[in-house]
Amino acid sequence: MIDPVILQQGSDWRAQAEVFDEIFFIFLALGTLVGTIVVAYTLWNVYKYRDDGSEPKEDFDAPVVGELPTGQGGPKAKKLFLSFGLSAIVVISLVVYAYGILLYVEEGPDTADESDIEILVEGYQFGWEYEYPNGHTTTGEMVVPADHRVNLDVTSRDVWHNFGSSELRIKSDAIPGETSEVWFSVSSEEVEAQGGEATYRVECFELCGAGHSAMTGQITVLPQDEWEEWYAGTQSENTSNIETTSAGNAPSVDNAIIRGAPT
């Protein structure tokens, strides 16, 4: 069903979590560096130009309120243009870098399309229903294979919801009558590291009613072969050990809350 060669390429993809962690680290590091320089330079000037009771030097060219401290091309002008220039370089580099890397987050890795898993996610008050390509549906728990790009088409049955998993760094509006797309991929190394089955908490990120806080779910990532076995079992009705429900048959609020409760 799925080409193992294509699967192998998948392990080189970068997960959104890695990308966002990198962006966070670079902004934190640069922010700390620039902040340290600015604060240190300020303190140094406070010390250097402190009032020590002596008479001011006559040739001291003090800044004047309401005037740019450019001097006449003197040392102050150099400082001004140096600080503007360095700031511009830092800011422009960050914009270009962040924009480029966020395009990857938006588009995702290039894949051979047949290896992608397409899942329809439908939010309802108060839970999540997932529909797989073969028409099988689960509620609460989404089961996907490792090393594949998983494309989610997110929509809602009733009011505005927002589907997301903090650990996977994915988040997408769930709006009635509209579909928003988001993708994710979990490597088999990560699945192994989590003991042969990786799980991620899913939450609703849009206040949608009384049961909003209980509107949780789970993404379970299985190794390729285990997932194929599970998926094959879903082809025939009700053979899966995952709770199933037919589309359009919305579970009651009470049931959803019980299911969403931590176990």
Q: Which spans of this chain sit near Cu ion (rule: CB under 5 A)?
A: 161, 204, 208, 215
Nearest distance from residue 163's CB to Cu ion, in Å?
9
Question: Residue 170 or 204: which CB sits closer to Cu ion?
Answer: 204
Type of residue at 240: S
Nearest distance from residue 217's CB to Cu ion, in Å?
11
Nearest distance from residue 3's CB to Cu ion, in Å?
37
Question: Residue 150 or 208: which CB sits closer to Cu ion?
Answer: 208
Q: Using CA atoms, how far apart are residues 118 and 106, in angstroms rounded to an integer?
A: 16
Question: Residue 126 or 132: which CB sits closer to Cu ion?
Answer: 126
Nearest distance from residue 93's CB to Cu ion, in Å?
39
Q: In the chain, what is the straight-line distance between the N-terminal and C-terminal CA atoms, in Å?
A: 34
Nearest 5°: the CA angle 242, 243, 245 is 130
Question: Between the CA of residue 52 and those of 43, 47, 49, 60, 64, what are the distances in Å?
Answer: 16, 10, 9, 15, 21
Question: Residue 139 or 234: which CB sits closer to Cu ion?
Answer: 139
Question: Residue 218 or 240: which CB sits closer to Cu ion?
Answer: 218
Nearest distance from residue 253's CB to Cu ion, in Å?
12
Q: Using CA atoms, how far apart are residues 187 and 147, in angstroms rounded to an integer?
A: 5
Question: Residue 13 or 130: which CB sits closer to Cu ion?
Answer: 130
Nearest distance from residue 162's CB to Cu ion, in Å?
7
